[in-house]
Structure formats: C-alpha cells, structure tokens
Structure 1
C-alpha cells in the first residue's frame, strides 16, 4: 500500500510519492516525456450525438408543443361553428379529434420534444451535472488540444478548484464531486501503474482560503467536495494540508538548525502565507500545528494577473475604451466577462446569443468597428480560455524579456499585440499590493519574527514578484532557494509517507 501527495492546483496539478529517501514524481501527461505536471483544466466532450436532454427541458418543450396543439384545436373549433354544411363540419370535427389524440399521446409528444431539442441543442445547454454523468473526459494537454480543435463538442472547465468554495446551485455540487473524482482517479491509477503498488491514501494540498466569497462556509464546502471526490476516486484515506505548510516541510530537509521561516506560496488561483518554526529534529513528527506561528491566505493568484494583462494590453485592441455615438464608452463589462473562465454562469452568459447581439449592435455604433469585430470573434468561437492562456504565456515570456509580440492569429489573421515589461508591471500592481498586504497580516499575527524567506508557487518565478517581496518589502530576510514548482507537492508526499507509517 502506498500514500501519495497530490498538489491539486488552480492552473496545474502534480503527484509525488516519497519513499523516505527520495521523491518519485508521477508522469501525468503521456503525450510529453517526463511531464509530471498537468493542466488542472478538464475537457468534457461527446464524440458523436449529445445525450437525451434533461427532463426539465423535455417537459418545457412538451408544454410548448401542447400550447401549439391547443391553438390549432381552438382554430378548428372556430371552423366547425362557421362551417356552411354538415360535410364541412365533419371535416373540422375529425381534425379536432386527431389533435386531441396528439395532445394526450405523451410518449409521442416527448419523442417530438427530444427531436426538436437535439436539433438545436448545444453542449452549453446541458447542465454540468448531466455533462459529468454522460460525457467523456480528457485531461491536461490532451484535453486542451481537443478543446482548441473542437470547442463546440464539449465544455472546458478551466479551473475546477476555483469553484469549490463558491455558492453552487442545485446539482452543481454533485457535478463537481463527480468531475474532481475523475481527475483524482486518473492521478491514483497513474501512480499505481508507475509505482507498481496499490495506492489507497493521499495527502491533498489545500489553500488557506478556497476561491469564493463564503468564508469558512465555503472552505468547509470545498473540503467536503474534495473528500467525497477522493472516496469516489478509490482513496480509502485522505487528509488535507495547507499548501504553504507543505512547502515548509520540503525546505525543512535543507536546514541544519531550528529556524523561523516565512513561506509565501503564490499560485495560479490563491496566495497563502505562513510563518512556521522548522527544525531537522521535527521532520518525523506527523502533527506540526503547534509549530505554525501564523497563516493567512486569499484568492489572489496568477490567473488574476493574466486577466489584468488582457484588460490592460489586449482589450484596447478589441475595442475597450472606444466611444459610441452617444459619447459613452463601450461597456467595459464586455472584456471582464470575456475573461471569466473561472465563472461558469458569467462565461455562459458571455457566450449566449443575447450577448452576441448586444456586442453586434455596439459594433455598429462605433467608428473603429474592426476592433470590436475581434471581440465578436472571441465570443462567437468561444475563445476565452485560449485568450487567457495566451496572456499567461505572455506573462511568462516577459519574465525574461523586456518586450514581446503576442500572436493572436486564432482571433484574426496577422493579429499581433505588442506588450512590454512596463505594461505587465502596471497590470500587476493592484494584485501585488494585495499580496503584500497578506504578508504584512501574517507577520503581524506571528508571535515570533521570521529569520528566512521562501517564495514558492508559479508566480514566484516572476522577477517582479521576487523583487517586490524580497528586495523592497523584506530586504532584511535571506531568501531561501528552492523548487518553485515542486516544493508543495514534495512536502505533501513527505506528509503522506508519515501518514502511511501511522
């Protein structure tokens, strides 16, 4: 039996097994050699026909057909009473009898309703719960490639983790349990095959505060969803560990004395800060909560920077800031809604026909209509996730370059956007201010001052982030070197090994 650590991230996920001496990372993307990280996004799709529409949609369509039949019956009755002779009356009487038979033939009405619905229905019309129960799943690059090739064949859930603490409507909570269970099962079976051992336990990383606006209630909901999903995925035992504490367990192995360390874990969806006392003498201890001096977190991740970069540098080339004939600007909500890949209701609304009509009408009301035509293409072709992904790539490229030209040829032929480091820095400032406020909060609540600083998570690779935290805010703290991408997962695997021995 083996216990694994699962870093279930907003942008990427990874799995590791610790044998007491070294870590064994599980390859999760078979299309890429040595790729142990995988996109957290999931593409749920149908290769052929869509499934039978939900009962509620069928019932609504049957009611609509019945109303139409009733209208025909009423017209036939009018014809009967106005008929000039008995022969004509009999014709109308027969017609009324046929229509009444149709009205009461429920199986035939349901068949007609399903036929009509399937003719016009798209994947976007299906409730997420039905999609999860009946669709096929593709993970990582495989799923993202399928989405880029055939977006109309399925639905891309860009970051399932972002929804766990949200206010989920009826059926959505069960839908996310089923969806995440598929991911966790994929992780478990991949580990089982590569380790050649039965994998039945896991320690899963969790943010201090899950993405959402419901506080502790949202956190409890998120943990409940993950717990049920893990059970469905075949794990008999599962525990959760806050991600910055997991990262601390990994760097503890490099220390030679007791040290208070400030850990800043800045990922794709959340930022978590903790101040913790680490010591080589405590590495074998399973419960370390007494060593946590302070911990805090918020939904402040790299995805917010990606969206801000779109608003700052890409949206103006799509019509943001243009004035309509009445002197008012093009609605800025067009562009925030366009980026809402982590908000299913808002994104579905953006992809609706009503939204298309609204943008099209606005397009006819501005001089530079060619710019809004690009926005309309993103809306029509459902390119939001691809655009956010492009912004993420631009952000990463600007970590080592002063300026780049970002190709957006999937929106329009020869459509390129020039972005420089100043634009990125400007777009990141509001986000950075909030990150620094979290660091300050953690320091204020810690009974002891930190002696070292460790920055981890994908955003820790940004020179802008490292400079703001390490050189500007905390220049007196030595910056520990470590693996920005793997430290959390390695710490989770270390804790899983302790759990296995318990």
Structure 2
C-alpha cells in the first residue's frame, strides 16, 4: 500500500509519491505540458436534457395545479347555481365532473407539473447538490475547454477549495463532499495506475485558515468536508498538514546544518507563513510540531490580485467610472460582482435576468454607454470565470514583460486592453500591505528570529512580490532558492512516507 501527498490548491492541484529517495509526480492532465499539475476547477455538465426535478418539488407543483383546478371547480359550481337554463346547467355540471376527474388524475398532474417545471429551465436553476449527484464531471483543461465551448451546458466551479470554510446552505456541504470526492478519487486512481500498487493513505495540504469568514468554525467545516470526501474517494487513512510546514520539509532535505527558516507560501486562495526549526537529522521524524515556532495565514491569495487587476485596469474599459444623469457613478458593485467567481450566491445573482435588466436600465441613463455593452456581454454570456482566467494570465505574463496586450475578443471583436507592470504594481499595493503585515505577525510570534527565508507558491514568481517581502525583512536574511510550485506537494509526500513507515 502506498501513501501519497496531495496539494489540493485553489488554482491547481498536484499529487506526488516519495519512495524514500526521490519523488514520483503523478500525471494528472495530459492536455498540458506539465501534466502533473491540474486545474482545481470542475465543470459539471449534461450532454443532453437536464434531469427531472426532485420528487418533492414535483409534488409541490402538483399541489399548486390542484389548487388552481379547485378554484375552477368552485367557479363552475357557482355558474351552475346561477344558471336558469337546464342546458346551461348541464354544461356547468359536465365541467365540474371533468375538473374533478382531472383533479384526481395524479399521473396526468405529475406530467403537467414536470412540463411546467422544465419549461425555460437552465443549469443555473439546479441546486448544487442535484447538479453534483446527476451531472457529468470534467476535470482540468478538458473541463475548462468544455466550459468555454458551451457554458450553458453546465456549471464551472472555479475553485471548490475556496468554499469549504464559507457559510453553506442546506445541501451545499453534501454537494462539496461529493464534488471533491470525485476529484480525490480521480487523483487516487491516477496514482494507483502509475505506481502499479494500491493507494490507501494520503496527507493533504491545508491552509492555516481556509477561505471564509467563520474563523475556527469554518476551518473545522472545511476539514470535515475534506475527510468525508477522502473517505468517499476510497482512502482508509487521511491526515492534513499546513502547507508552509510541508514546504519546509522539502527544503530541509537540502540543508547541511540546523537553521530556523521563515516560509512564505502564497497560493491562489490563501497566504500561509511559518517559522520552523529545520535540521537534516530530523528528516525522517513523523511528529514535528515541537519544531514549529509560529504559524499564521489568511484567505488572501493570488486570485485577489487577479480580481483587483480587473477592477483597476479592465473594468474602466467596461464602463466603470461613468456618470449617470443623476450625477452618481455607475454602481461599482457591477464590477466586483462580475469578478465573484469564488462566491456562488453572488455570481448566480450577477448572472440572473434581473441583474442584466438592471445593467440595461443603467445604460439608458449614462452618456456614451457603449463600454458598458462589454459588461452586459460578460453578464449575459456568463463569462466571469473566463475573464478572471484572462487576468491571471496577464499577471503571469507581466512577471517577465514590461507590457502586454490582453486580447478579450470573446467579449467583443478587436477588444484589447494594454496593461503594464506599473498597472499591475498599483493594483497589488493594498494586497501587498496585508501580506507584509502577515509576515510581521509570524516573525513577531516566533521565539527565534528566522535565519533564512523561503518564498513559495505561484505568486512567489512575481518580482513585485519577492521584492516587497524582502524589503520588509532584515537585508542580511539569505533567500533560499527552491521550486515555487512543487515544494508543498513534495513536502506532503515526504510526510506521507514518514507516516506510512511509522505505522
């Protein structure tokens, strides 16, 4: 039986197995060059017709139809008593008999209820739990391509991880358990096929604080969902390790002497930081909690930068800042709601017909409302996830270029937005201040000052981010070089191997 490490990320996920000497990365997505990485997004879709409504919903509709029939019966009975002509009375009497027969014909009523419920029904109308239980799943690039090709066929969950600590209404917790179980089962099956042995144990990375506003209650909910999903996926043993600590276990194997390291892990949805004592002599020890000097984190990751870049550099070309006839600006919430790919209720509201009507009405009282046509296109064609993805690519390209032209032709032909590193820098300032404050909190909470710095996670590749963090720390603090993307999963795999050997 093998034990694997799973880096279940906000933007991407990875799986690795450590054999005691080297890592084996599990290929998860053959559609991309680095096949061991896979988008964490899930596209749940239907090839053909949508599923029938749940039985209780059908029965509720039947009751509504019966109420309408009963009203017709009472009206026909009144007509009968008011009629003086026997022939007219006979017509009303027959009508009452027919309506009563219809009232008691349950199969017919159920068919009528289903027809009414299915009329104009879309995927967006389905409860998430029903979608998960009845829809088909597509992962990685295949899922994203299906979404781009026919978004009306399904629903893209851009980052399931971002919802685990949030307030979830009835049925949604079960929905996320089922959704993530499908992903974890896919990861496990891929590992078993490539390792040629059963996989029953996993160490899954977790942020210090899951994305949400519910504190420890949200964290407990997130872990509960992940544990249930892992069990459904077939794992008999699962544990969790905070992501910056996992990254520390990876870099520890390159050290030649004990040292205290500050690890800053900036992922897609969260930033997690720890100060930890590392030593080559401790590499194979399972329980390392006594070596953790301090740890902190928050729901503040690269996705916030993607959304901020849209607000600062793209939204102004979509009508943000225009003035209405009453002198007030176009509601800025249009643009923040447009980016809310990590908030299902808010995004569903943005995609509603009423919201589109509200935008259209605002356009009628704005001079030169043409730029708002782009906003309306994003709303009507449900392009929010695609726009956030475009912003993410712009951010990544600006890590190595001074200026780019971002093509948004899926919104409007020849619609291009020029963005430079200055624009990106300005959009990130508020975010960077919060990151630096978090680093300060972790360092202040540690009983030992860090001797070395390691920055990991996708955002660590940004020169702006690296410089801001280093400027905030003592100038003589050495920077450890390492893999920005794989250090967490490699550390998780090491921890999984240690766990298996200590059984």
TM over 0.5: yes
Q: Does 1:136 align with 2:157?
A: no
1:184 maps to what in 2? 184
Deviations 1:228-272 (A, max 9, x none): 100100001111000000000000011000000000000000000
Q: Does 1:194 align with 2:176?
A: no
Contact 1:294 1:442 in 2 (8 A): yes
Partners of 2:131 and 2:115 in 1: CA distance: 19
Q: CA deviation at 1:116?
A: 1.8
Q: How many residues matched?
A: 502
Deviations 1:104-133 (A, max 9, x none): 323321211112222211111111111111
Equivalences for residues 373-388 of structure 1 within 5 A: 373-388=373-388
Partners of 1:455 and 1:211 in 2: CA distance: 21
TM-score, normalised with respect to structure 2: 0.98
Deviations 1:336-355 (A, max 9, x none): 11111011111111111111
1:452 maps to what in 2? 452
1:41 maps to what in 2? 41
Partners of 1:299 and 1:282 in 2: CA distance: 31
Query: Is the partner of 1:496 in helix, strand or coil?
Result: helix
Contact 1:201 1:237 in 2 (8 A): yes
Q: CA deviation at 1:366?
A: 0.8
1:173 maps to what in 2? 173
Q: CA deviation at 1:472?
A: 4.4
Q: CA deviation at 1:75?
A: 3.5
Partners of 1:481 and 1:33 in 2: CA distance: 23
Partners of 2:170 and 2:474 in 1: CA distance: 46
Q: CA deviation at 1:30?
A: 2.4
Q: CA deviation at 1:364?
A: 1.1
Partners of 1:207 and 1:407 in 2: CA distance: 34
Deviations 1:178-227 (A, max 9, x none): 00000000000000001111111100000000011111111111111100
Contact 2:41 2:156 in 1 (8 A): yes
Q: CA deviation at 1:276?
A: 0.1
Partners of 2:159 and 2:86 in 1: CA distance: 69
1:402 maps to what in 2? 402
Question: Unpaired segments of 5 or more residues in structure 2?
Answer: none
1:119–1:148 CA distance, 2 compared to 1 (3 A): same
Partners of 2:242 and 2:478 in 1: CA distance: 24
Equivalences for residues 344-355 of structure 1 within 5 A: 344-355=344-355
Deviations 1:146-185 (A, max 9, x none): 0011101111000000011111111110110000000000
1:291 maps to what in 2? 291
1:369 maps to what in 2? 369
Greater shift in the superposed pair: 344-353 or 62-71:
62-71
1:474–1:106 CA distance, 2 compared to 1 (3 A): farther
Partners of 2:137 and 2:372 in 1: CA distance: 34
Partners of 2:146 and 2:225 in 1: CA distance: 27
Query: Is the partner of 1:369 in helix, strand or coil?
Result: coil
Contact 2:436 2:472 in 1 (8 A): no
Partners of 2:326 and 2:57 in 1: CA distance: 41
Partners of 1:292 and 1:119 in 2: CA distance: 58
1:113 maps to what in 2? 113
Equivalences for residues 417-428 of structure 1 within 5 A: 417-428=417-428
TM-score, normalised with respect to structure 1: 0.98
Partners of 2:58 and 2:334 in 1: CA distance: 32
Partners of 1:373 and 1:488 in 2: CA distance: 43
Q: CA deviation at 1:328?
A: 1.0
Query: Is the partner of 2:201 in helix, strand or coil?
Result: strand
Contact 1:275 1:295 in 2 (8 A): yes
Query: Is the partner of 1:368 in helix, strand or coil?
Result: coil
Equivalences for residues 78-97 of structure 1 within 5 A: 78-97=78-97
Deviations 1:2-26 (A, max 9, x none): 0000000000000000111111101
Equivalences for residues 55-454 of structure 1 within 5 A: 55-454=55-454
Q: CA deviation at 1:101?
A: 2.0
1:7 maps to what in 2? 7
Partners of 1:251 and 1:162 in 2: CA distance: 27
Contact 2:66 2:103 in 1 (8 A): yes
Query: Is the partner of 2:454 in helix, strand or coil?
Result: strand
Partners of 1:264 and 1:56 in 2: CA distance: 50
Contact 1:54 1:126 in 2 (8 A): no
Partners of 2:231 and 2:37 in 1: CA distance: 23
Q: CA deviation at 1:34?
A: 4.5
Q: CA deviation at 1:302?
A: 0.3
Partners of 2:53 and 2:320 in 1: CA distance: 38
Query: Is the partner of 2:477 in helix, strand or coil?
Result: coil
